[in-house]
Homo-oligomer: A and B are copies of this chain.
Amino acid sequence: MWGHMHAGRMPEGYPQFFARAEGGHVWDADGTRYVDLMCAWGPILLGHRDPAVERAAARQAALGDAMNGPAPVMVELAERLVERIAHADWAIFAKNGSDATTACVTIARAATGRRAILVAEGSYHGALPWCTPVREGVTAEDRAHQHRFRYNDLASLEAAADAAGGDLAGVILTAFRHDNVVDQEMPDPTFLRGVRALCDRRGAALILDDVRAGFRLHPGGSWEGFGVRPDLAAFSKALGNGHAIAAITGSDPLREAAARVFVTGSFWCAAVPMAAALATLEELGRRDVPGHLAALGERLRAGLAERARGFNVGLRQSGPPAMPLFLFEGDEDVRLGRAFCAAALKAGAYLHPRHNMFLCAAHTEADIEAVLRAAEPGFQAVARLQAEGG
Contact = CB atoms under 8 A, between A and B. Distances in A.
Interface of A: 1-5, 7, 15-22, 26, 29, 36, 38, 40-44, 48-49, 54, 57-58, 61-72, 74-75, 92-93, 95-99, 102, 105-111, 115, 126-130, 132-134, 136-139, 141-142, 144-145, 211, 236-237, 242-244, 257, 260-271, 273, 350
Contact of A109 (B20, B92, B108, B138): B138
Contacts of A75: 17
Contacts of A137: 105-111, 257, 260-261
B71 A19 contact: yes
Copies of chain A in the complex = 2
B71 A17 contact: yes
Contacts of A270: 242, 244
A136 B110 contact: yes
Given A236-B266, A262-B133, A61 B72 contact: no
16 contacts: A5-B269, A17-B72, A19-B64, A19-B72, A36-B68, A40-B68, A40-B266, A43-B266, A48-B64, A95-B95, A95-B265, A107-B137, A137-B260, A141-B145, A244-B244, A244-B273
Nearest to A27: B64
A127 B21 CA distance: 34
A26 B67 CA distance: 7
A16 B68 CA distance: 8
Contacts of A132: 261-263
A66 B95 contact: no
A184 to B, nearest CB: 19
A266 B2 CA distance: 11
A273 B128 CA distance: 22
B129 A26 contact: no
A139 B110 contact: no
The 10 closest A-B pairs by CB, nearest first: A3-B264, A134-B262, A110-B137, A21-B64, A106-B137, A141-B144, A244-B267, A18-B67, A66-B242, A40-B66
